[in-house]
Amino acid sequence: MVVKSNLVTIKGIKDGLVFLLDDQCEFEELLEELRYKVEYTHQNILTGPIVHVDIKLGSRKIVSEQKELLLDILKQKGNLLIRSVEPPSHRPDTEEKKESIYTVTGMIRSGQVLHHDGNLLFLGDVNPGGTITCTGDIFVLGALRGMAHAGNEGNRNAIIAASYFSPTQLRISDVISRPPDEWETREAGIEFAYLQEGTMQIDKMSNIGRLRREFNVFKGV
């Protein structure tokens, strides 16, 4: 479904929404119409479950401050997760997707589930009752207070990293973490969870390079 307007076109795709923004008008006009659509005219598609959003700017070049103004408008809707701004014209193939790290911005609230095939970098907080799952690694630059499941198709080399660990549950492949009350005594700082001989371990992020080298030696790389 495509909702047409003079300056902002919202297009529904298989796994989310694409916002096509006019690249010839004044930037303030663009912000005004985007804000109006988000707040008033498209409540039926901008509320409810999590929706991934790709923003396409056409030939318009924007500075970081203008980008933040665009994102601030879309972030008013808690179900919109910004997946990309002016993404490449081609989609990565399966192998590139597995090796790259996909970035999503937003907040995952109670009852919301975010899933990705590959490695995921989430910029925001995962609240209690919220869930992130992916086939690869999970990196949360924010507070992880909900559930995270990395390597959910059997990858036991996957990791889960977060700026602040206080999850209700962690899973890597088919291994489930210890009870949540044991996270109360964690030290501040970015840490990550990984599997060692089938048991979940926690370490400082500064040691991830050593762990990756051990994985590569084990795999014969």
**Domain boundaries, given as residue ranges, for the chain:** 2-85, 95-219
Amino acid at 193: A
In this prediction the pTM is 0.60
Query: Which residue would you say has higher pLDDT here, 186 or 74?
Result: 74
- DSSP code of 117? S
Q: At what angle do helices 27-36 and 64-74 cross, to 10 degrees?
A: 10
Q: Among 85-99, 108-122, 137-151, which stretch is predicted with the lowest mean pLDDT? A: 85-99
Q: Which CATH architecture has domain 95-219?
A: 3 Solenoid (2.160)
As beta bridge partners, residue 194 has 201
Give 100-109 pLDDT, tens digit per residue. Answer: 678 888 889 8
2-85 shares its CATH topology with 95-219: no
Query: Which residue would you say has higher pLDDT here, 75 or 4?
Result: 75
Query: Which residue would you say has higher pLDDT here, 184 or 48?
Result: 48
Name the strand (E) or helix (H) holding 31. Answer: helix 27-36
2-85 has which CATH code? 3.30.750
Q: How does the average pLDDT of the chain come out, rounded? A: 79
Give yes or no for residue 182 having a pLDDT over 70. no
3-state class percentages of the chain: helix first, strand second, coil last, to nearest 5 = 25, 35, 40
The residue with tokens 């409810």 is 48
